[in-house]
Structure 1
Amino acid sequence: MQVRVASRRRKPESVRAQFPQATIIDVTSRGPEPWVRLSPFYPHGGIPVPLSPGAVSASVEGVWQALKVFENTDVDPSKLAVTTMTGLKRTTRRHGAVRGHRAGPDGAHLLGYEEARRRIYLPAYRWMLEHRVPDLVVRLRGYSDLVLLDYTTNGDPADTSSPLSHAALVASFLTDRWPSASPPA
Structure 2
Amino acid sequence: MADAVKTGDLQVSIRIASRRRAMTSLTAAFPGAEIIDVTFKAPDPWVRLSPFYPHGGIPVPYSDGATSQSVEGIWQALKVFHDSDVDPTKLSVTTMKGLKRTVRRYGPVRGHRTGLHGDRLLPYEAARRRIYLPAYRWILEHRTADLVELLRDKEDVVLLDYTANGDVTNSASPLSHAALIRLHTEGRWPSEDDVEASSGITGRMP
Q: Report the TM-score when normalising by structure 1.
A: 0.97
Task: State the one-letter code of the partner of 1:114.
Answer: E
Identity of counterpart residues, as a percentage? 65
Task: State the one-letter code of the partner of 1:112.
Answer: P
- Whole-angstrom CA distance in 2 between matches of 1:43 and 1:72: 27
- Whole-angstrom CA distance in 2 between matches of 1:145 and 1:177: 18
* Gap runs ≥5 in structure 1: none
Cα shift at 1:118: 0.2
Counterpart among 132, 142, 150 of residue 121 in structure 1: 132
Larger radius of gyration: 2
- Whole-angstrom CA distance in 2 between matches of 1:63 and 1:52: 11
Cα shift at 1:130: 0.3
Deviations along 1:96-123, one digit per CA (max 9) or x if unpaired, are: 0111100101001000000000000000
The reply to whether residue 80 of structure 1 matches residue 91 of structure 2 is: yes
Cα shift at 1:52: 1.4
Paired position in structure 2 for 1:100? 111
Paired position in structure 1 for 2:148? 137
Cα shift at 1:182: 2.7
Cα shift at 1:173: 0.6
Cα shift at 1:181: 1.0
Task: Give the CA RMSD over aligned residues.
Answer: 1.2
Cα shift at 1:184: 9.0
Greater CA drift, 119-128 or 131-140: 131-140
Q: Report the TM-score when normalising by structure 2.
A: 0.88
Task: State the one-letter code of the partner of 2:106.
Answer: H
Task: State the one-letter code of the partner of 1:126.
Answer: R
Cα shift at 1:183: 4.5
Paired position in structure 2 for 1:64? 75
Task: State the one-letter code of the partner of 2:55.
Answer: H
